[in-house]
């Protein structure tokens, strides 16, 4: 196993404080009875009926889970449509005038879509996609920023049974090309461009570039005119407005999808040099995210809800789009960044929209703390009922700041652990039931099996660090795991009895069964909640002319959580210096995007290697963190570590 830190890395202590659920929250919460945990234990797997019951099925399923061996066919025999569940059923139930999406642009413009508006536009775009030749099971790639046309396009795809493949707009043309190929996708929806912190980013030109780079032809491309700078459209390229207008008033019947038909593909970073393709299916995924939106986020149809996640990542798929809309909630969608135009933009949004439930990431909370504590306090945030966090471990100090300064000590905080691969939340407190422990995510949700094991697969004693494995299948599990496949990195890792999935995270469990997640133990780093593979960054750097070898590690960063540190050996005849450094940064931005930009590029004559030639990444992490250097005695070249450390000190 490639083990970046091992389970014994610095143990982050969760606070020993315990906070009971606020009574005024419990009084109105959807799930308040502790018996739900027992019910799921006694009744497993049929207990997951409860999740499926949040949805409308065309054909009811015959069995919740026919077999406890792969293939795991959750809700076998059932058919449904995700778009029908997120849109039509609310219109049919008389909620057509309720706001579904309130979009706030970063410049202060707003656009409001009721469920009826959403119904109309999704139908028109679904008809347009069909007219472009998109058939059931064709993959449609969506390379779009946070504009309303993104969820509309996702729902239109879901309506016609065409899996979507959303690519985060901050990724480069190369990254888009790789994802088009990996998904075997011949249809692309993008936009001309968008503003980020006041500057225009031209997306269509990146999409055009990707089109040239991808190994196969794109058949059709749709361009949303967001900046009004679309320019020339070539063959097979159409504007979104032109297509929607051509299908004004069209209605498309939602396609009946089997529970395990693919709803979408999404790519994330794994531990190989290639992005990892994850496929989520219609029934289990939608049931999982809808149930957890209800049980954990406590969302109700009358709520206004703000999640700051970008729809380009899984958090936005599950908890900006599918979960909240399936429940008929009003989702506020924010185009910009929390600090643009001012650092109080988020508090503005909460106050103006009287937001009930707010879900964000620890990196944002750390920024808020750093900026000015008085900012949230100068606003009326009394509409808030519940706060959530996701994406990285949250330390007890940030947790308490969030609880006190944003939640005024009256809103429960749910620290939700989950992954692209799990589809939805797995480990967190049920806020109307469980006490909170700042710094610890909480117990596994009812029905979820999680264990912390050592390298041999043995469960470790309470409060000791080990590897986090999931030991039971769950409805939101992706196609590969359903089929009993393992991703390369997870293959036969531990000798755990029975089926299991290794998460890539280190964790410990306390005497109450609360899990504290310690961070990744594999070659994945987490920069501001963005999941990045060190191997992908390394291969980008090695592709730069003049670079002989590179090693990338994550170093601690006060706001970002981790930052990218690149250690580089130059090729003979090339000079270390600003020119090469700039080309390395450009190389990473071209291959992946600005999110992977190295914080530091450190030139070194050698990398610390063991006698067998393996790079000792742990030492490079110690160097990045300015920590005391670990044992260097097994190195072939011990002196190099001190040399690199001196360079890092000089650069920072």
**Taking the complex as a whole, how short is the minimal distance between the CB of residue 328 and ligand 6R9, in angstroms?**
23
Q: How far is the CB of 289 from ligand 6R9 (least distance, A)?
A: 11
Cβ-based nearer residue to ligand 6R9, 274 or 606: 274
The b-or-e profile of 46-78 (16+ CB within 10 A means b, else e) is: ebbebbbebbebeeebeebbbeeeebbbbbbeb
Candidate ranges 23-31, 413-421, 475-483, 634-642; the one touching ligand 6R9 (CB under 6 A)? 413-421
For 382, list phi and psi in degrees, rounded to 5: -70, -10
Q: How many CB atoms lie within 10 A of CB 227?
A: 16
Size of the site for ligand 6R9 (CB under 6 A): 23
Please tell me the distance from the alpha carbon of residue 153 to that of residue 296, in angstroms, as a whole number.
27
Distance of closest approach, residue 528 Cβ to ligand 6R9, in angstroms? 11
Per CB under 6 A, does 278 bind ligand 6R9?
Answer: no
Of the candidate residues 363, 419, 429, 440, the single one contacting ligand 6R9 (CB under 6 A): 419
The residues pairing with 603 across neighbouring beta strands, listed in sequence order, are: 568
Cis, bond preceding 341 (omega within 30 deg of 0): yes
Residue 330 as a binder of ligand 6R9 (CB under 6 A): the answer is: no
Check residue 390 for interaction with ligand 6R9 (CB under 6 A): yes
Nearer to ligand 6R9, 8 or 69 (CB): 8
Write out the binding residues for ligand 6R9, residues 294-323 only, by CB under 6 A.
Answer: 313-315
Q: Is 430 in the site for ligand 6R9 (CB under 6 A)?
A: no
Q: Which is nearer to ligand 6R9, 65 or 331 (CB)?
A: 331
Closest approach, Cβ 290 to ligand 6R9, in A, equals 16
The least CB distance from residue 403 to ligand 6R9, in Å, is: 15
Tell me whether residue 134 or residue 387 sits nearer to ligand 6R9 (CB atom). 387
Cβ atoms 151, 117 nearer than 8 A = no
Q: Residue 517 or 607: which CB sits closer to ligand 6R9?
A: 517
Helix (H, G, I), strand (E, B) or coil at 530: strand
Q: In sequence order, what are the residues at sequence separation of 6 or more whose Cβ sits closer than 8 angstroms to the Cβ of residue 90?
A: 96, 98, 100, 115, 301, 328
Angle (CA) 403 407 409, round 5°: 65
Residue 235 CB partners (closer than 8 Å, separation 6+): none
Q: Which two tokens stand for residue 517?
A: 């997640």
Taking CB under 6 A as the rule, does residue 285 contact ligand 6R9? no
Residue of minimal Cβ distance to ligand 6R9: 420
Q: Does the footprint of ligand 6R9 cover residue 187 (CB under 6 A)?
A: no
Residue 441 in contact with ligand 6R9, rule: CB under 6 A: yes
Distance between CA atoms of residues 528 and 421, nearest Å: 19
The single residue among 323, 336, 376, 393 that binds ligand 6R9, judged by CB under 6 A, is 393
Q: Shortest distance, CB of residue 504 to ligand 6R9, whole angstroms? A: 5
Task: For residue 392, state whether it binds ligand 6R9 (rule: CB under 6 A).
Answer: yes
Closer CB to ligand 6R9, 81 or 294, in the complex: 294
- Tell me how far apart the alpha carbons of residues 402 and 337 are, in angstroms, rounded to a whole number: 18
Helix (H, G, I), strand (E, B) or coil at 373: coil
Q: From residue 138, how far is each of 162, 208, 264, 285, 393 by CA, in Å? A: 5, 21, 11, 19, 37
For the CB of residue 273, give the shortest distance to ligand 6R9 in the complex, in Å. 18
Tell me if 360 contacts ligand 6R9 by CB under 6 A.
no
Work out the burial of residue 27: count CB atoms within 10 Å of its CB; fewer than 13 is exposed, 13-18 middle, 19 or more buried: exposed
Rounded to whole angstroms, the Cα distance separating 91 from 86 reads 10
- What is the DSSP code string of 450-463? EEEE-TTSPBPPTT
Shortest spacing between CB 529 and ligand 6R9, in angstroms: 6
**DSSP 3-state assignment of 526?**
strand
Interface mask (CB under 6 A) for ligand 6R9, residues 523-542, using x and -? ---x----x-----------
Nearer to ligand 6R9, 298 or 415 (CB): 415
What's the closest the beta carbon of residue 130 comes to ligand 6R9, in angstroms?
32
As beta bridge partners, residue 220 has 187
Minimum gap (Å) between residue 386 Cβ and ligand 6R9:
15
| Residue span 496-525 as binding mask against ligand 6R9, x where in contact by CB under 6 A, dash where not | -------xxx-----------x-xx-----
Would you tell me which residues interact with ligand 6R9 (CB under 6 A)?
A: 268, 313-315, 390-393, 415-420, 441, 503-505, 517, 519-520, 526, 531
């Amino acid at each position: 196993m490639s083990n970046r830190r091992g389970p014994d890395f610095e143990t982050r202590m969760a606070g020993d404080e315990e906070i009971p659920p606020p009574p005024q929250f419990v009084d109105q919460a959807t799930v308040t009875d502790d018996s739900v945990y027992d019910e799921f234990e006694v009744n497993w797997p049929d207990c997951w009926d409860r999740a499926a019951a949040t949805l409308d099925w065309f054909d009811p399923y015959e069995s919740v889970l026919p077999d406890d061996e792969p293939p795991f066919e959750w809700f076998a025999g059932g058919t449904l449509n995700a778009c029908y569940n997120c849109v039509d059923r609310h219109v049919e139930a008389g909620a057509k005038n309720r706001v579904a999406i309130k979009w706030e642009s970063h410049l202060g413009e707003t656009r409001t879509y009721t469920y009826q508006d959403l119904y109309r536009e999704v139908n028109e775009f679904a008809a347009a996609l069909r007219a472009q030749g998109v058939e059931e099971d064709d993959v449609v790639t969506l390379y779009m920023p946070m504009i309303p046309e993104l969820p509309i396009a996702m729902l239109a795809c879901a309506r016609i049974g065409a899996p979507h493949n959303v690519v985060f707009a901050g990724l480069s043309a190369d990254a888009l090309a790789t994802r088009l190929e990996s998904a075997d996708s011949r249809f692309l929806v993008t936009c001309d461009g968008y503003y980020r912190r006041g500057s225009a980013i031209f997306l269509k030109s990146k999409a055009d570039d990707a089109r040239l780079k991808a190994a196969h032809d794109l058949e059709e491309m749709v361009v949303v005119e967001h900046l009004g700078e679309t320019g020339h459209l070539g063959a097979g390229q159409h504007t979104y407005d032109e297509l929607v207008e051509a299908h004004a008033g069209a209605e498309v019947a939602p396609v009946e999808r089997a529970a395990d038909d693919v709803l979408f593909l999404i790519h994330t970073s794994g531990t190989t040099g290639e992005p990892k393709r994850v496929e989520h299916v219609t029934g289990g995924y939608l049931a999982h995210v809808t149930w957890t939106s209800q049980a954990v986020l406590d969302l109700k149809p009358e709520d206004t809800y703000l999640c700051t996640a970008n729809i380009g990542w899984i958090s936005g798929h599950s908890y900006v789009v599918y979960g909240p809309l399936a429940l008929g909630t009003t989702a506020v969608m924010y185009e910009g960044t929390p600090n643009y135009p001012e650092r109080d933009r988020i508090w503005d949004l909460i106050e103006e929209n009287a937001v009930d439930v707010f879900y964000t990431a620890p990196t944002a909370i750390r920024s808020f703390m750093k900026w000015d504590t008085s900012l949230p306090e100068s606003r009326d945030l009394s509409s808030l009922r519940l706060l959530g966090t996701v994406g990285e471990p949250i330390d007890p100090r940030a947790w308490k700041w969030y609880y006190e300064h944003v939640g005024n000590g009256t809103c429960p905080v749910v620290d939700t652990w989950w992954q692209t691969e799990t589809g939805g939340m797995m480990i967190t407190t049920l806020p109307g039931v469980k006490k909170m422990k700042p710094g610890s995510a909480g117990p596994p949700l009812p029905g979820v099996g999680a264990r912390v094991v050592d390298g041999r697969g043995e469960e470790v004693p309470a409060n000791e660090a080990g590897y986090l494995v999931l030991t039971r299948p769950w409805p939101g599990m992706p196609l590969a795991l359903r089929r009993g496949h393992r991703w390369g990195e997870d293959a036969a890792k531990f000798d755990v009895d029975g089926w299991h999935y290794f998460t890539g995270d280190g964790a410990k469990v306390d005497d109450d069964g609360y899990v504290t997640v310690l961070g990744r133990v594999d070659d994945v780093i987490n920069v501001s909640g963005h999941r990045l593979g060190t191997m992908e960054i390394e291969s980008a750097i090695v592709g730069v002319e003049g670079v002989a070898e590179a090693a990338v590690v994550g170093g601690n960063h006060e706001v970002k959580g981790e930052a990218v540190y690149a250690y580089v050996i130059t090729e003979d005849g090339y000079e270390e210096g600003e020119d090469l450094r700039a080309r390395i940064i450009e190389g990473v931005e071209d291959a992946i995007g600005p999110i992977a930009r190295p914080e530091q590029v450190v030139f070194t004559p050698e990398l610390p290697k063991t006698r067998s030639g393996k790079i000792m990444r742990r030492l490079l992490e110690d160097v990045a963190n300015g920590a005391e250097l670990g044992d260097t005695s097994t190195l072939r070249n011990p002196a190099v570590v001190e040399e690199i450390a001196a360079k890092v000190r000089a650069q920072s």
